[in-house]
Amino acid sequence: MDTVDLLVIGGGITGAGVARDAALRGIDTLLVEARDFSWATSSCNTRLVHGGLRYLEHLELGLVMESLRERNLVARMLPHLMRPMPILLPNYRGDRHGPLAVRLGLKVYGLLGKGPLPGSRWFPPHEVLKLVPHLKREGLRGAGLYYDLQVPLPERLVMEILLSAREEGARIENHTRMEAIKWEEGGFTVKLSTPRGHRTLRAKVIANCTGSWLDRVRELAGFQGKVLYPTKGTHMVIPGRPERGFYTAKGERMVFVLPLGDNTLVGTTDTPFTHDPATVCPTEEDLKYLSETYRSLFPGDPPPEKPLFAYAGVRPLVHQEGKSPSQMSRKDRIFQEGPQGRFLSVGGGKLTTYRAMAKRVVDRAAGILKNQAPCTTGHTPFGGYWEALNDTSIEEQAQRMAPEYGLEPHRVKHLLSLYGRRALKLMELCREEPELARPIHPSSPDMVVQILHAFQEEMAKDLEDLLLRRLSLSITPGRGIQALEALTEKVVQLGLMEEEEALHQAQAIKETWRERFLVE
């Protein structure tokens, strides 16, 4: 029977971070994910790497400082995946905080997060309206401008962490479901189910990084009681691309309006969710809330009746008595259970602080395993890191490299922005087989070579893995469903799937995406 030191359950950003940290310390690590990497919350968020400006209101200075530190770190370590995002915070009569408080908050936020991004500015009403003529005018008292980071494709961030973990020795598996967990003398016996069959292994320590499924996996392992208070967050994507982001109050919630590709992302809601996390979907009520928020900012520019698409995810918040969903802290918490505390569950947290969360989990696992190696994730380069790439130089690099590989500069730029240094392998394939450089569909810069790479190098197993979590087609109108026929054809032509199976999967996508993403 196979034995591992650390079994990581869950292939979102938390599990990915734990696997990489553990592998770098020399811990024998296996990560298993029941569906696909980033299947749930890690791909259903606001797509920001940020400090959490609103946490200052709740005096969570520790969380803000850690978030800003981690934001700056990931900006240095994976610049090709990040985009500096200017965000305008309009202030109106009747808002909870006046201009002075907002300016002070932005100043503190800037001081705590001093680093690679520009500082904040305050604009009086007439200057705000010059910047954004269609912004609501009535009661406007000015606006603050500050910067955070956008990660347009968080799925690519998770994939880079996973690939780097694998390169350090971790074993990584998706579509591997947990069937049973039982403590037996000296460790856990775990039964796994995969498309190829069943197997059993032993694990000395388990890290439960399953997000909203945390309590379900705890229960599977024999631990009682709920530790989570899951909440639902819905986002919608509408036509038109603003020049900058916006951050506005809607009751207790703060809602973002952000550019995303050629369109606009509006989100998020925050309501309790007690059902199976796998069933979460956006509703008409969610869209009404987001549309009203958007209309309150831009009364002369109402959103369309139907979005281009919408998506919903579940936040694995740790329960706090007497607090509403919006008031609950996003701070992570580790629960140690079982003999010698060998079953570790991590709840709460946010995309930005994944590395710090992972460090805390692996510190505890390493203590149990008597491993004294320090955490090195704060300075060990990722496999996709390339110091020559950042938001300002990527265009220049693309122009320089395009002739060498026989590609158009915009195609080189696209590959560099998704894969960093790993793009060199894809470009080499295109040089050897020019047909691979063809676009998959006119709606996106994605290329045929990315399909091949996703299946051969990134563990894609089916059409949904490919469409939603490997390609930028996922943020185009309809979540890429307009390219489904072309994608299916290419997968079959490349010999990656049998035609019958590919057509069956394509039909299933057509049937389920109307409810799942409100795609017509």
Q: Report d(CA 367, CA 19) in Å as an integer.
A: 16
- 1.10.8.870, 3.30.70.330, 3.40.190.10, 2.30.30.90: CATH of 394-517: 1.10.8.870
| Residue 380 burial (C-beta neighbours within 10 Å; 0-12, 13-18, 19+) | middle
pLDDT band at 418 (very low <50, low <70, confident <90, very high): very high
Q: Report d(CA 73, CA 263) in Å as an integer.
A: 28
Considering the chain, tell me which residue range(s) the CATH 3.30.9.10 domain(s) occupy.
83-150+229-322
Count the neighbouring beta carbons within 10 Å of the beta carbon of residue 114: 10
Phi and psi at 313, nearest 5°, equal -135, 170
Residue with tokens 């962490």: 161
Q: Report d(CA 482, CA 517) in Å as an integer.
A: 14
Amino acid at the residue 454:
A
Q: Residues 6 or more apart from 512 whose CB is under 8 A from it? A: none
Q: Beta strand 263-267 with 231-239: parallel, antiparallel or unpaired?
A: antiparallel
Q: Residues 6 or more apart from 32 whose CB is under 8 A from it? A: 7, 8, 9, 11, 173, 174, 176, 178, 192
Q: Report d(CA 312, CA 277) in Å as an integer.
A: 10
pLDDT band at 322 (very low <50, low <70, confident <90, very high): low
Contact 48, 246 (CB under 8 A): no
Q: Residues 6 or more apart from 476 whose CB is under 8 A from it? A: 261, 262, 443, 444, 482, 483
Count the neighbouring beta carbons within 10 Å of the beta carbon of residue 289: 22
What is the pLDDT, as a whole number, of residue 320?
74
Phi and psi at 176, nearest 5°, equal -130, 105
Q: Residues 6 or more apart from 173 whose CB is under 8 A from it? A: 30, 31, 32, 33, 194, 459
Instruction: Pick 35 or 252 by higher pLDDT.
Output: 35
Quick one: which H or E segment has residue 17?
A: helix 13-24
What is the pLDDT, as a whole number, of residue 197?
93
Q: Report d(CA 484, CA 490) in Å as an integer.
A: 10
448-457 and 423-432 helices, crossing angle to 10°: 120
Per cent of the chain over pLDDT 70 is 97
User: Can you say whether residue 257 is alpha, beta or left, with left for phi > 0 and alpha for psi between -120 and 50 degrees?
Assistant: beta
Contact 50, 149 (CB under 8 A): yes
State the average pLDDT over residues 197-226.
97
**Coil, strand or helix: which one is 472?**
helix
Give the sign of the dihedral formed by CA 89, CA 91, CA 96, CA 97: positive
What is the pLDDT, as a whole number, of residue 59?
80
Considering the chain, tell me which residue range(s) the CATH 3.50.50.60 domain(s) occupy.
2-42+155-228+329-368
| Residue 223 burial (C-beta neighbours within 10 Å; 0-12, 13-18, 19+) | middle
Instruction: Indicate whether 392 pLDDT > 80.
Output: no
| CA trace torsion 69, 72, 78, 84 (10° rounding) | 140
Considering the chain, tell me which residue range(s) the CATH 1.10.8.870 domain(s) occupy.
394-517
- Give the pLDDT confidence of 218-277 residue by residue, as tens digits: 999 999 999 999 999 999 999 999 999 999 987 767 899 999 999 999 999 999 999 999
Q: Report d(CA 65, CA 358) in Å as an integer.
A: 17
| Residue 133 burial (C-beta neighbours within 10 Å; 0-12, 13-18, 19+) | exposed
Contact 238, 267 (CB under 8 A): no
Q: Residues 6 or more apart from 484 whose CB is under 8 A from it? A: 463, 467, 506, 509, 510
Q: Report d(CA 329, CA 323) in Å as an integer.
A: 9
State the average pLDDT over residues 334-363.
97
Phi and psi at 238, nearest 5°, equal -125, 165
Count the neighbouring beta carbons within 10 Å of the beta carbon of residue 394: 20
What is the pLDDT, as a whole number, of residue 249?
80
Instruction: Indicate whether 425 pLDDT > 90.
Output: yes
Q: Which fold has domain 83-150+229-322?
A: D-Amino Acid Oxidase; Chain A, domain 2 (3.30.9)
pTM value is 0.97
Partners of 337 in beta bridges = 343
**Coil, strand or helix: which one is 197?**
strand
pLDDT band at 182 (very low <50, low <70, confident <90, very high): very high
Q: Report d(CA 256, CA 267) in Å as an integer.
A: 5
Burial track 290-326 (b if 16+ CB lie within 10 A, e otherwise): bbebbeebbeeeebeeebbbbbbbbbbbbeeeeeebe
pLDDT band at 1 (very low <50, low <70, confident <90, very high): confident
Contact 409, 399 (CB under 8 A): yes
| Residue 196 burial (C-beta neighbours within 10 Å; 0-12, 13-18, 19+) | exposed
**CATH hierarchy code of domain 2-42+155-228+329-368:** 3.50.50.60
Q: Report d(CA 95, CA 387) in Å as an integer.
A: 43
State the average pLDDT over residues 104-120.
92
- Give the pLDDT confidence of 60-110 residue by residue, as tens digits: 889 999 999 999 999 999 999 999 999 999 999 999 899 999 999 999 999
Per cent of the chain over pLDDT 90 is 89
Measured in whole angstroms, the distance separating CA 358 from the mean position of its chain's CA atoms is 15
Computed over every residue of the chain, the mean pLDDT equals 94
